[in-house]
């Protein structure tokens, strides 16, 4: 009995020493370790906005776009990811993208590296949650270290190491850049996000309105919806109010010659980003302001001057 107790104590001491050694090793590698970014996200964590980076759905494909100088580089994750959460990590000018599909008992991960204007597929792996009903869901922790051309990934459940693998960057699979301009959010979308405030000229500013779906239900209720655009020098907001509708939409905007390009960006009531970035145009014709959405050209009624 005494021998068993001694063996148990020795094993505990060795386990604690091993964990401490790992922690010390990570501290020594901290300058080479990717750090998680706190990005703006929607409620499903599958739509991220960070400085210079957007990860967003477009035509059911997940697109990664990054602004580098005056150039936007985009990649399509459609062949690797069908839905789930996204995490983003950074080390100097390199980014690690972690895509997670979670089914409660098992989390499956797909990992990519963006480095020197190239996107690489690294690996896919799973972490099983043992005895979920008895002990609950354990915290998933990741450490990724880059040493010259070697990338090492560690996956933990709480403090227990569950996954560890090394990769040579020179042997990773490159993902082709996306060339389909119709599926990019907008060539200047990231620039607009980076600049923050808009600079809308005086001739666009004011309060404008149009009406849709005007009619009556079988019970006699009016079905119309008013769309009110409030355009100031640094914001474009559309308020939709009427039958079974109340919504406020924040648009990113930029002037292009004689049009004002609008990019539907964020739903203000819920604080969520739109999955699809929809482009609309405002333009003047014979003294009246028109909104072009798809094939429709809608005349707007002026309701007030600029603020």
Q: Is the pLDDT of residue 149 over 90?
A: no
pLDDT tens for 162-180 read 899 999 988 998 888 775 4
185: which residues sit within 8 A by CB, 6+ positions away? Answer: 54, 56, 58, 63, 65, 263, 277
Distance of CA 195 to the CA centre of its chain: 18
Total length of the chain:
307
Q: Domain 197-304 carries which CATH code?
A: 2.40.128
> In this structure, are residues 269 and 249 in contact, taking their beta carbons and an 8 Å threshold?
no
pTM of the model: 0.57
Q: What's the pLDDT at 302?
A: 92
Top pLDDT among 11 and 53 is at 53
Summarize the confidence of residues 195-218 as an average pLDDT.
82
pLDDT tens-digit map of 25-55: 555 668 899 999 887 766 555 567 777 787 7
- The domains of the chain are located at 32-190, 197-304
């Amino acid at each position: 009995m005494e021998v068993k107790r001694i063996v148990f104590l020795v094993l505990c001491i060795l386990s604690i020493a091993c964990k401490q050694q790992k922690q010390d090793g990570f501290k020594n590698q901290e300058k080479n370790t990717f750090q998680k970014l706190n990005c703006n996200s929607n409620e499903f964590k599958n739509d991220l906005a960070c400085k210079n980076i957007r990860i967003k759905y477009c035509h059911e494909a997940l697109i990664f776009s990054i602004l580098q100088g005056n150039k936007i580089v985009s990649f399509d994750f459609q062949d690797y990811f069908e839905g789930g959460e996204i995490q983003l990590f950074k080390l100097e000018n390199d980014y690690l993208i972690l895509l997670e599909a979670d089914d409660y008992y098992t989390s499956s991960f797909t990992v990519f590296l963006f480095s020197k204007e190239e996107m690489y597929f690294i690996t896919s792996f799973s972490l099983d949650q043992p005895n979920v009903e008895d002990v609950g869901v354990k915290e998933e922790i990741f450490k990724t270290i880059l040493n010259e051309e070697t990338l090492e990934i560690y996956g933990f459940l709480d403090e227990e190491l569950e996954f560890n693998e090394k990769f040579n960057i020179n042997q990773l699979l490159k993902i082709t850049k996306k060339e389909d301009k119709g599926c990019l959010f907008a060539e200047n979308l990231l620039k607009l996000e980076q600049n923050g405030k808009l600079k809308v000229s005086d001739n666009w500013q004011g309060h404008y309105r149009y009406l849709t779906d005007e009619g009556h239900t079988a019970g006699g209720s009016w079905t119309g919806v008013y769309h009110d655009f409030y355009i100031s020098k640094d914001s474009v907001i559309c308020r939709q109010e009427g039958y079974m509708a109340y919504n406020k939409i924040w648009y990113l905007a930029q002037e292009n010659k004689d049009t004002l390009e609008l990019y539907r960006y964020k739903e203000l009531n819920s604080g969520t980003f739109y999955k699809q970035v929809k482009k609309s145009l405002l333009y003047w014709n014979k003294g009246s302001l028109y909104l072009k959405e798809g094939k429709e050209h809608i005349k707007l009624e002026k309701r007030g001057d600029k603020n």
